[in-house]
Amino acid sequence: MKKIQLLPILMGVLLVVSCVKKGPWKGQEIVLGTAVTISVHDCGSVKGIESKIEDIFTEMKELDILWAYKGEESDLALLADNAGGESQRIDQYTFDLLAKGLQFEQLTDQAFNIRMGPIKELWGFHSPNPQIPDSADIGSALALVDGGMFFAGKSCLLGLAGMKLDVGGIGKGFAVDLAVDKLIDDGVKAGLIEAGGDLRAFGAPRTGEKWRIGVRHPRKPDEFYCILNIGEWAVATSGDYQQYFEVNGKRYHHIIDPNTGYPSTGCVSATVLAKTCTEADAIATALMVMGAEKGGRWLEENPGYFGLIIYFDEEGNLTHLISPELEDSFSLH
* pLDDT tens-digit readout, 179-212: 999 999 999 999 999 998 899 999 987 666 788 8
- pLDDT at position 290 over 80: yes
Residue 203, by phi and psi: left (phi above 0), alpha (psi -120 to 50) or beta?
left
Which residue from 152, 145, 263, 190 is spatially nearest to 22, judged by alpha carbons?
190
- pLDDT at position 2 over 70: no
pLDDT at 311: 95
Q: What is the CATH number of the domain that holds 109?
A: 1.10.3980.10
Determine, yes or no, domain membership for 22: no
- pLDDT at position 78 over 80: yes
* Arithmetic mean of pLDDT, 162-179: 97
State the amino acid at position 180 in one-letter form: V
Determine, yes or no, domain membership for 192: no
Mean pLDDT of the chain: 90
Work out the percent of the chain whose per-residue pLDDT is above 90.
76
Task: Judge whether 165 and 114 are in contact, CB under 8 Å.
Answer: yes
Determine, yes or no, domain membership for 103: yes
- pLDDT at position 9 over 50: no
Residue 324 pLDDT level (bands cut at 50, 70, 90): very high
* Arithmetic mean of pLDDT, 293-304: 96
pLDDT at 23: 64
- pLDDT at position 12 over 50: no
Determine, yes or no, domain membership for 68: yes
- pLDDT at position 176 over 80: yes
Extended beta strands in the chain, E state: 2-5, 12-13, 25-31, 34-42, 88-89, 149-152, 155-158, 190-195, 198-202, 211-216, 224-230, 234-239, 244-247, 250-253, 269-274, 306-312, 318-322, 330-332
* Arithmetic mean of pLDDT, 149-161: 95
Question: How far is 95 from 73, CA to CA, in rounded Å?
Answer: 15
Determine, yes or no, domain membership for 2: no
- pLDDT at position 114 over 70: yes
Determine, yes or no, domain membership for 120: yes
- pLDDT at position 18 over 70: no
Task: Judge whether 276 and 302 are in contact, CB under 8 Å.
Answer: no
* Pick from 85-89, 212-216, 265-269: least confident: 212-216
- pLDDT at position 5 over 50: no
270 Cβ contact partners less than 8 Å away, ≥ 6 residues apart: 237, 238, 239, 284, 285, 287, 288, 295, 307, 308, 309, 310
Is there a cis peptide before residue 324, judged by omega within 30 degrees of 0?
A: no
Q: How many domains does the chain have?
A: 1
3 Cβ contact partners less than 8 Å away, ≥ 6 residues apart: 319, 320, 321
Residue 49 pLDDT level (bands cut at 50, 70, 90): very high
Question: How far is 188 from 122, CA to CA, in rounded Å?
Answer: 44
26 Cβ contact partners less than 8 Å away, ≥ 6 residues apart: 37, 38, 39, 40
Task: Judge whether 273 and 230 are in contact, CB under 8 Å.
Answer: yes
Determine, yes or no, domain membership for 129: yes
- CA atoms 176, 182, 186, 187: torsion sign: positive
pLDDT at 208: 66
Determine, yes or no, domain membership for 29: no
Query: How is residue 261 annotated by DSSP?
Result: S
- pLDDT at position 316 over 60: yes
- pLDDT at position 13 over 80: no
